[in-house]
Structure 1
């Protein structure tokens, strides 16, 4: 996570002030722990909400990208087709169009393929996030996502607030990258 420097303090001083001590404080009261838990939950909820918005922007812009293939010559037909697709299917359709339009190994094709791979990674993480249940481990400054039912196999994924922020930043970067790709190398 980038730390924005203060004009009157060295950057390392600001960074040290923002770093959390991740070891439980034995002198911490239950009230202090409860206050931290509530603050972390509010921040995590905000970050998860931002993630949903950012991912939906990628999804809709990917759909528009596919609907406007060949300068929108089949806009109505493709719009109806794309509207029914999930993001995985949209990514596979984009990969197909890219392979048809750009030569293998070309800068344009590689750029799209790298973007598609990054979105697939983000899609898997987002799916875990939206299909799991959330809790706060305030002692350890962790936000916990548990995927699976308590009566079956479960996967526990821990995040710091900084890691959730970084994921959102990656989603925003993916959105900007798709806009850049569409502008410079439309399909």
Structure 2
């Protein structure tokens, strides 16, 4: 992200009220700034794969790696949802309900499912910049049907990426202290 794009986005993002005196050149500059920032941030959502890899390693090494080879092969064919479901089963088996460990791991699983669902919607939709509203909009469905849309600010996309990073760090910490 270049300095001008960053400056324009930071200056314009907090004020979502359209300016009736805004010129088309100013609107176009904001459109370009939002699109550039959003593209960069959207690209970073693909680093959800780091969470996926960390989760896969935690699962492969379940029970001190007793079934490392078999689990590794099995996990290669699973999507993130299946891995999260498998992780949830391991957690439920290993830690008693209501325990500090189980609560922390269940909370992480819930957050990871929410992030996975949001990331999937982001990937499946198409993106439209609404410069007057200072938003980027994710649209699901065909224009001829009943499309559904979700509008994001640059700050919201940034926060989503921060959540992905936090999920990765938290899983590494949890699995280090309480391996499944």
Residue ranges of structure 2 left out of the alignment (5+ in a row): 1-9
Q: 2:37 aligns with which of 34, 37, 43?
A: 43
Question: CA offsets per residue over residues 122-180 of structure 1, 9 Å max, x none?
Answer: 11111110000001000110110001122222111000000001111111111111001
How do residues 24-173 of structure 1 correspond to structure 2 at under 5 angstroms?
A: 24-53=18-47, 55-173=48-166
Runs of 4+ with >2 A deviation:
16-20
SS of equivalent to 2:128:
strand
- 1:117, CA displacement in angstroms? 0.5
Deviation at 1:17, TM superposition (A): 6.4
Structure 1: state its 5+ residue gaps. 1-15
- In angstroms, what is the RMSD of aligned CA positions? 1.4
What corresponds to 1:11 in structure 2?
none
Cα deviation, residue 113, structure 1: 0.5
1:85-141 Cα offsets, whole Å, 9 max, x none, are 111110110011111111111111111111000111111111110000001000110
Which whole-Å CA distance do the structure 1 matches of 2:96 and 2:43 have between them? 39
Q: How many residues align?
A: 171
CA deviations 1:6-30 (Å, max 9, x no partner) are: xxxxxxxxxx967632111111111
Q: Is it true that 1:182 corresponds to 2:175 in the alignment?
A: yes
Distance in 2 of aligned mates of 1:165 and 1:71: 36
Residues 13 and 153 in structure 2, CA contact (< 8 A), matched pair in contact too: no
The two structures have a TM-score, normalised by structure 2, of 0.91
TM-score (norm 1): 0.88
* Alpha-carbon distance change, 18 to 142 in structure 1, aligned in 2, over 3 angstroms: closer
